[in-house]
Structure 1
Amino acid sequence: MKQLLALLSVTSLLLLAGCSNVYSQEDGYRMAVINQGFPVPKNAYEVKPEECTDEISKAAKYKLQGIGDEDGNPPDHYLRTIEEWGWTELVEDRRGAIHFYEKNGKIMSLNIRENVFDVFEMTSETAS
């Protein structure tokens, strides 16, 4: 009986941990680790980011179930939240699933893929 109870407890913990990292607009947003003015979903967890390049000064990579579909399209609520936080999308610079935003002279890039996304702080304006 104790073994069954222990197994049920472990299984419940695993289910709770697995469900906690799924995109939900109700969970809200927090500041990105690389730019405190750029929102990321609260329940996204950071993983090792991509290497920075001449165009990228800072990078952060997050995992989150349901953040993007197989084509890299993010949830509309997340895009609206970015704009509510004062960022303006540079629509002419968009490259597929890569979105660029500007605020107070800073350029941020958001690259969404299925269940993972990158946030980059750019060193200069993007070239169209």
Structure 2
Amino acid sequence: MKNFGIVFILVPLLLLTSGCTPSTYEITGYTGSSINNEIPVPVNAKQLSVSAFSDNPNIQTSIKYELKHIGGEQGLYVPSDYFEKLSEAGWVEVEEERMGHVHFFKKNDTVIAIEIQEDTFDIFEMMQGFTF
């Protein structure tokens, strides 16, 4: 009977603690973005929208992807493995220009901005000649 009491207490405790662990995103590989093939994007990221028009005169095109848990809770966490892949592809983060959730990367004469949110991320290709 004593063992039953311990099991009765441990099972709900185990379920409670496992339900409170943060979920993480999983990247299964990379492919080129449809707005610029040189920008790697996780294969399992779902494309939500593409826009060639913006009210911001600095943005040439943009694309929005969904990838569950990529930014963590409220988009507060940097997806370091994704940023490592960008670095491997030749994109250099311009860290001094970072604005909250928006990270800027440069490769040759091309500048992109990546905005990380909780379950989505946006990639903005900036206009040629864009300066910070």
Shift of 1:23: 3.3
1:93 touches 1:126 (CA, 8 Å); kept in 2? no
1:93 match: 97
2:61 touches 2:126 (CA, 8 Å); kept in 1? yes
Q: Secondary structure at the match of 1:48?
A: strand
Shift of 1:126: 4.2
2:15 match: none
1:59 match: 62
Which has the greater radius of gyration? 2
Deviations 1:29-64 (A, max 9, x none): 111111110111101111124652311001000111
Shift of 1:80: 0.5
Alignment of 1:62-73 (within 5 A): 62-72=65-75, 73=77
Q: Distance in 2 between matches of 1:49 and 1:116?
A: 13
Sequence identity, in percent? 37
Cα RMSD over matched residues?
A: 1.7
2:130 match: 125
Q: 1:92 to 1:125 in 2, by over 3 A?
A: farther
Question: What TM-score, normalized by structure 2, do the two folds share?
Answer: 0.73
1:23 match: 25
Q: Distance in 1 between matches of 2:104 and 2:46?
A: 22
Question: What TM-score, normalized by structure 1, do the two folds share?
Answer: 0.75
User: How many corresponding residue pairs?
Assistant: 105
Moved segments of 4+, more than 6 Å: none
Shift of 1:71: 4.1
Shift of 1:74: 3.0
> Can you give the 5+ residue segments of structure 2 that lack an aligned partner in the other structure?
1-23
